[in-house]
Chain A
C-alpha cells in the first residue's frame, strides 16, 4: 500500500472556532492522514466529532487554524492567486448532505450543472455547453429533458443525482461526499451508492465519504477513519476495522449499530466508551501508531503493546 500514489496528505490539521475566546471550540484537533489515488476513504463518528468540518476544511470552505493540506504535494491553504485557486477548485468538488438545500431553487437544472463549466470556461459554444449538460445528466441516470426543469420538480434521489452531476461537471479527480445519502430513503440510498461506485470505476475518482451510517460506509470504503471529539482515533482498511476494532471508542460505535437481523439483535451486547479507561500519565506521548500494516490507532506506547497482543488473537 505504501507505494500507492498519495493524492492528498493531511498533516496535523487543526480547526478551532472562536479562537482565544472562552467559547473556543476545537472542532479538529490535530489530525493527520493520507488519501491515496483512486480509493474511497470513509470518515465516521458521531455528530459534533468534526467529520464534516474536516471535509470542509480540506476543500477550503474554512481556513485551517494550523496544519497543512497537501494536494499532489501542493498546499491547499495559504495565499493563492486567482489562477491557482481556479485550478485547485477544478480538481476538488463536494457533494452535500441535503439535496433540498444545496440546489438553488431559482436556477434551472442546466444552469446549476453548467455553473462550473461557465466559470472555468470549459465549453466553447452554447451548443457545446448544453451537450456537456446532457451528457452529465445521462451519466447520473437522468435524461436530457430534465435540463430545463427546476429543482423542486425532482424527488430527493433525483436531486442528489443532480448534485453529483454538478460535482462532475468540471471533471474533478477528488470528491468529498458529506453524508450524501442520509437524507434519502432506504430504497433510493442503494441507487445513489451504486451510481457513485460506478462513476469511481469509470472515471478513476477518489472519494472522501463522510457518514454516520456505518454499514453503508463499510460497503463503499476501502479504508475507514473513526473520529472522536476532533481526533482521529483509528484508521484501518474497512474489513480490518470491522473485524478487529481496537480503540475502545470504535468498539462501542460498532456495537451500537442495529443490524437488520432479529436473531442477532436479541443477543447483541452493547459496549459503552468511557474516555477514562486510557489513564494516560502526564508526559506520555499519545499519537497515531501502527498496530499492524495499515491499521493505525491513537494510543500510548503502553497501549500499543496491548493492542498488538489483542490483534494477534
Chain B
C-alpha cells in the first residue's frame, strides 16, 4: 500500500527553565493510505507531541525539532513556513481534539465554524459552503441540520459537539485525519457511536487516520495497526492482531496485563511498578528498564534497536536479540499468544 505520511527519525526537545526536555527521541513510522494507525502510551510518552509536530502546532518559543523529517506528499512539513502550512492544515491534514467543550469557538455559530475551512481552502461562495455544511451535519448524524446550523456550541451536548468537530475536520475531505483522544471526554455509549461514525466515514471518503488514545479497548475497536510509545520512542509497532495477541515488548505486556478482563476474576491486578521516566535526563539505556522485571544488564547501558518480528511487526527490546535468554511472559499475555498461534 502507498505511504501517505512518513515520519523519519524525529527528535523534538522543549527548552524549559529546568533544562532541555527530550520529548521525542527518534520516532519512525509511516501511515498508509486508508488505514487507521493507533498510537498508545501514557501521558508524557510523546504521542501528542508527535502529532502536534505533524500539524506544526508546537509552541514556537520553546520547542525545537532537533532532527528528522515528516514527509507528506513528498514535502517535508518541518521545512514549511507558517504560511505554507496554513494551506495544508485543515485541508489535507486535519485534527480532532480531545475536548469538544473547548475546541469550538463559543461565540460563533456551528454553521459558521464548519463553513470557515470551506471558504478559506476551497474558495467556495457562502451559499455553496452553507449547502456543504448542511450535508456534513447530516453526514455526522446530527438531526435537523437546518435548525442546528444556526445554533451555538453551548446548545449542543458533548457527543453532538464532538460530531460538529468531526464535521469541521472532514469538511475538505482531508487525506490525513489526526484524532487526539477524541472519545476520552465522552460516555461509553456516546463513545461507541462516535467510533462507529468515524469508521463509517473513513470507508466513505478513504482518509487515513492517526488515532491517539490510552484506552486499549478503543484501540482494538478502531485500529488496523498499533504503535506503542514509551519515553519519547516507539517501542513496538505492528498490526492490531500482532500487538494484542503476540506482543513482544515488556511494556506492552505490562499494559495488557494491567487491564482487568471482563470474563475472568483475578485476585490482584498486574501493576507496572514505578513511574514514567523523566525526559529531562533520559536514561542512557532502555527508558523502560527501571520498571522492567525482565531487564538485563545491557538494558541499562544501551538503547535497544528495533528488532524485526515479522514484515509488519517490530519491537525495541533486547529480549529479541538472538543471544538473549528465553523469558516467560506474564500469564495474561501467554494465554493471548496461545490464541494467536491457534489462529495461524
List chain A positions with a Cβ less than 8 A from chain B.
46-47, 155-158, 185-191, 193-194, 197, 212, 214-216, 218-219, 239, 242, 252-253, 256-265, 268, 270, 272-273
Cross-interface CB contact of A187 among B42, B189, B218, cutoff 8 Å = B42
Residues from chain B with a CB closer than 8 A to the CB of A158 are 275
CB distance A260 to B266 under 8 Å?
no
Residues from chain A with a CB closer than 8 A to the CB of B97 are none
Further contacts, 6 of them, CB under 8 A, given A187-B254, A194-B269, A256-B188: A46-B189, A188-B275, A253-B189, A258-B221, A260-B259, A261-B220
- Smallest Cβ-Cβ distance to B240: which chain A residue: A262
CB distance B260 to A256 under 8 Å?
no
CB distance B42 to A259 under 8 Å?
no
CB distance A186 to B216 under 8 Å?
yes
Residues from chain B with a CB closer than 8 A to the CB of A185 are 42-43, 214, 276
Question: Number of contact residues on B: which range applies?
Answer: 35 or more
A216–B271 Cα gap in the complex (Å)? Answer: 13
Interface on chain A toward B: helix, strand, loop, or mixed SS? helix
- If A193-B269, A260-B259 touch, whether A214 touches B219 (CB-CB below 8 Å) is no
Whether B73 is near chain A, meaning CB under 8 Å from some CB there, is: no
- If A186-B255, A219-B260, A219-B266 touch, whether A258 touches B217 (CB-CB below 8 Å) is yes
Contact with A along B243-283 (1 / 0, CB 8 A): 01100000000111011111001101111110110000000
- Smallest Cβ-Cβ distance to A249: which chain B residue: B189
- Smallest Cβ-Cβ distance to B184: which chain A residue: A182
Task: Looking at the assembled complex, report how far the CB atom of A201 sits from the nearest CB atom of chain B, in whole angstroms.
Answer: 11
Residues from chain B with a CB closer than 8 A to the CB of A190 are 258, 269-272
A263–B214 Cα gap in the complex (Å)? Answer: 19
Task: Looking at the assembled complex, report how far the CB atom of A147 sits from the nearest CB atom of chain B, in whole angstroms.
Answer: 19
A278–B240 Cα gap in the complex (Å)? Answer: 40
Residues from chain B with a CB closer than 8 A to the CB of A265 are 217, 220-221
Residues from chain B with a CB closer than 8 A to the CB of A273 are 189
Closest 6 CB pairs of A and B: A258-B217, A219-B260, A260-B216, A185-B42, A190-B271, A190-B258
- Smallest Cβ-Cβ distance to B215: which chain A residue: A258
CB distance B187 to A187 under 8 Å?
no
18 contacts between A and B (CB under 8 A): A46-B190, A156-B43, A185-B42, A185-B214, A185-B276, A186-B216, A186-B255, A186-B258, A187-B42, A188-B42, A190-B258, A190-B271, A215-B260, A218-B260, A256-B192, A258-B221, A260-B259, A261-B244
Whether B241 is near chain A, meaning CB under 8 Å from some CB there, is: yes
- Smallest Cβ-Cβ distance to B188: which chain A residue: A256
CB distance B192 to A259 under 8 Å?
no
A252–B196 Cα gap in the complex (Å)? Answer: 15
CB distance A216 to B260 under 8 Å?
yes
Whether B295 is near chain A, meaning CB under 8 Å from some CB there, is: no
Residues from chain B with a CB closer than 8 A to the CB of A191 are 271-273
CB distance B188 to A46 under 8 Å?
yes
Residues from chain B with a CB closer than 8 A to the CB of A270 are 192, 196
A258–B254 Cα gap in the complex (Å)? Answer: 19
A304–B261 Cα gap in the complex (Å)? Answer: 31
Residues from chain A with a CB closer than 8 A to the CB of B258 are 186-187, 189-190
Between B42, B241, B339, the greatest number of chain A beta carbons within 10 A of the residue's beta carbon is seen for: B42
A156–B275 Cα gap in the complex (Å)? Answer: 10
Residues from chain A with a CB closer than 8 A to the CB of B27 are none
Residues from chain A with a CB closer than 8 A to the CB of B219 are 260
Whether B195 is near chain A, meaning CB under 8 Å from some CB there, is: yes
Residues from chain B with a CB closer than 8 A to the CB of A253 are 188-189
Residues from chain B with a CB closer than 8 A to the CB of A189 are 258
A159–B241 Cα gap in the complex (Å)? Answer: 36
Residues from chain A with a CB closer than 8 A to the CB of B218 are 258
CB distance B220 to A186 under 8 Å?
no
Residues from chain A with a CB closer than 8 A to the CB of B223 are 262
Cross-interface CB contact of B269 among A46, A155, A219, A264, cutoff 8 Å = A219
CB distance B271 to A259 under 8 Å?
no
- Smallest Cβ-Cβ distance to A213: which chain B residue: B188
CB distance B255 to A194 under 8 Å?
no
Task: Looking at the assembled complex, report how far the CB atom of A220 sits from the nearest CB atom of chain B, in whole angstroms.
Answer: 8
Whether B191 is near chain A, meaning CB under 8 Å from some CB there, is: yes
CB distance A262 to B220 under 8 Å?
yes
Task: Looking at the assembled complex, report how far the CB atom of B222 sits from the nearest CB atom of chain A, in whole angstroms.
Answer: 9
CB distance A260 to B214 under 8 Å?
no
A261–B220 Cα gap in the complex (Å)? Answer: 6
Task: Looking at the assembled complex, report how far the CB atom of A211 sits from the nearest CB atom of chain B, in whole angstroms.
Answer: 11
A131–B219 Cα gap in the complex (Å)? Answer: 46
CB distance B188 to A239 under 8 Å?
no
Task: Looking at the assembled complex, report how far the CB atom of A265 sits from the nearest CB atom of chain B, in whole angstroms.
Answer: 5
- If A258-B218, A262-B244 touch, whether A215 touches B191 (CB-CB below 8 Å) is no
- If A212-B188, A215-B259, A265-B220 touch, whether A155 touches B244 (CB-CB below 8 Å) is no
